[in-house]
Chains A and B, each alone.
Chain A
Amino acid sequence: MPDSLVQLKQLTVQFDDRPVVDRVDLSVRRGDIITIIGPNGAGKTTLIKAILGLQRASSGQVSRASRLVIGYVPQHLTLEATLPLSVRRFMLLSGRTARECEAALERTGVRHLQEASVHHLSGGEKQRLLLARALARRPDLLVLDEPAQGVDINGQAALYELIRELRDELDCGVIMISHDLHLVMAATDKVICLNQHVCCSGYPADISHDPAFIETFGHQVAESLAVYHHRHNHRHNLHGDVVTSTGLHGAGDHDHH
C-alpha cells in the first residue's frame, strides 16, 4: 500500500533463537487507530520497538514512509531523582517553540502544570505530559505503549477519547498497546491480538467472537467484552458524569471511522 505510514512484512524478532515476534504483517495508515492486545510476554512492546526503530528485526521488513514524524508516548517517564526538571523545560527540550509547547499542553489538559516539577506529577498527568510532548512534534504517526497506565478508570476513558480526537485533528495514524480491553474495544478501529504471531485481528465487535481470541483470553473475558460492548451507549467524562455517546459506538451502532 503506497499510503502506509508504516508497514511490517513478515517481521520476526528473535531473542536467543526464540521468536518474540513471529512473522507479523501489519500496516498503519493515516486515520487508523490500531490497538495491540495480548497476554504478558506476547511481544507487544518488542513489536512497537521495531516500528519505532529501537529494535532490529531478525528477519522480515519494516518500511516507514519518508520523512515520517513519529510521536512516541513511552510506558513510563521515570526521571532520575537527581535531575530537576519542570514540565515547561521538558516540553521545550522537544525543540519546538514555547508557543507550540504551550498549545500542546493546553490540548492535553495539563497547561496549568507548566511550572510544576515533573517529579511531582501523578500517573495520569505524566501520561498527558508525554502525550503533549508527542503532540508538539506534529506527528504523522502516534505510537503509545500502554498510555492509560497509572490512570484512574474515569481518566482512562477520557484519555482514549482524547487520543481519538487527536487522531482526527492531526490526521495521523495511531498504534498503541493496551491492557484495558473494554475501553480499547470502544475506542479502536482495529484490534490486533498478538501472541508472538498475530493470533487474530479485526474490528473490536467481531474479534471478541473469534475462536483464537477466546482461546487466548478465555471465555469469560470474551463474553464480558461482547456484553460490555453491546451495552455501551454512553461514556463518562473526567468527572464521571454520563455523556451521551456521539463519536463512540453506541448500542447496535457498528460503523467505524
Chain B
Amino acid sequence: MTIIDSVLGDFFWRALLGGLGVALVAGPLGCFVVWRRMAYFGDTLAHSALLGIALSFLISVPLNLGVIITCVTIAIALVLLSRTRALATDTLLGILAHSALAIGLVTLSFMPDVRVDLTGLLFGDLLAMSRQDLIWIYGGAAFVLALLAVLWRGLLMSTIHEELARVEGVPVERLRLALMLMFSLVIAVAMKIVGVLLITALLIIPAATARRLARNPEHMMALAVIFGVIAVTGGLSLSWHLDTPAGPSVVVTAFLTFLVVYGTARNASH
C-alpha cells in the first residue's frame, strides 16, 4: 500500500481533505454572496439541491449532475420570475426554497426501494466521503476558482456598481449567470460535507468573519478561505472526538470563530 492509499484509506482524513477543498472555494464565492446580498438566494439553491437528488434517483442520473442541473434550472427560473416583479424577491425565494425542499422530500418518499440517508443529505455526513467525491470536490473547486480568476474584474465591477459596469462594457447578465453556475457547482460538491441545510452558513460565515479584518476584496477572499479551513478542521475534529454530526459541528466552529473575531479584532474599517 502506498502512502497516499493509507492516507486516503482513513475516512477521517478523506473527510478533512474534502472539507478543505470545499473551504477553498466557499470562501471566495461566499464573499460574493455577502457583497451581493445573495444569502437567501444561496439558501434557495441549496434547498433545491434535495429536489435534484430526488430527481436524479427518479431518472437515474449521477447525483452530482442531477443537483447541478436542478440548481441551475431553479436559478434561471428565479431570475426570470423576479423580472416580472409580481412578488418581492424574498417572498419568491421563500416560496421556491421551501417548495423545492418539500417536493424533494415527497418525491423521495415515493421511492421506497431507494435507500437515502436523509440526515446525511440535510446535515452532512462525515463517513460518506468517497474517493470519487474527492475528485468531484477538487475538480469542481479548481474549475470554479479558475472561472472566478478569469471573470474577476467584471464580477467585482458589476457588484460595485451594475450600471457603471454595463456602461463600461461588462457583460453583466452573462456574469450573473456564470455566478449562478458556480453556486450550483459549489452546492453540489459541498452538500456531502455540511448538507443542504447548512451550505449557506459555510458560504456566509467565513466571509462575514473575514470582512472584519479585510482591507480590500482580494484580502477578504483569502481570509475567508482561512476561516473556512479553521471551521472545517475544527468542526470535523469536534465531530470525530465527540461524535457530533459533521455539518453542524463545522458551522458551530465557524460561528465561534466569527464571535471571537468580532469580539476581539479592531475593525479594519475599510
- Which A residues lie at the B interface, using CB under 8 A? 49, 52-54, 70, 72, 74, 77, 79-80, 82-86, 89-90, 93-95, 117, 119-120, 133, 137, 143
Contact = CB atoms under 8 A, between A and B. Distances in A.
A65 to B, nearest CB: 15
A79 B160 CA distance: 6
B92 interface: no
B167 A54 contact: yes
A215 to B, nearest CB: 33
Contacts of A79: 160
B218 to A, nearest CB: 9
A117 B217 contact: no
B208 interface: yes
A94 B160 contact: no
Dominant SS among interface residues on chain B:
helix
B157 to A, nearest CB: 5
Interface in B202-244: 207-208, 211, 214-217, 219-220
B34 A82 contact: yes
Query: Which among B163, B167, B269 has the highest number of chain A CB atoms within 10 Å?
Result: B167
B83 interface: no
B216 A89 contact: yes
Given A74-B161, A82-B208, A83-B159, 20 more contacts: A54-B167, A72-B167, A77-B161, A80-B159, A82-B207, A83-B217, A84-B215, A84-B217, A85-B160, A85-B217, A85-B270, A86-B215, A93-B156, A93-B160, A95-B153, A119-B269, A119-B270, A120-B269, A137-B168, A143-B167
Interface of B: 34-37, 153, 156-157, 159-161, 163-164, 166-168, 207-208, 211, 214-217, 219-220, 268-270
A93 B156 CA distance: 8
B160 A83 contact: yes
22 contacts: A49-B163, A53-B166, A54-B166, A72-B167, A72-B168, A74-B163, A77-B161, A80-B35, A82-B34, A82-B207, A82-B208, A83-B35, A83-B159, A84-B219, A85-B160, A89-B216, A89-B217, A90-B160, A93-B156, A117-B270, A119-B269, A133-B164
B268 to A, nearest CB: 7
A86 B270 contact: yes
Given A82-B35, A82-B211, A72 B160 contact: no
A131 to B, nearest CB: 12
B270 A84 contact: yes
B167 A53 contact: yes
Query: Which among A90, A93, A94 has the highest number of chain B CB atoms within 10 Å?
Result: A93
A104 to B, nearest CB: 14
Nearest to A120: B269
Contacts of A89: 216-217
A95 to B, nearest CB: 7
A74 B164 contact: yes
A52 B167 contact: yes
Contacts of B269: 117, 119-120
A117 B36 CA distance: 19
A95 B207 CA distance: 26
Contacts of A117: 269-270
A113 B35 CA distance: 23
A13 B204 CA distance: 40
A162 B36 CA distance: 34
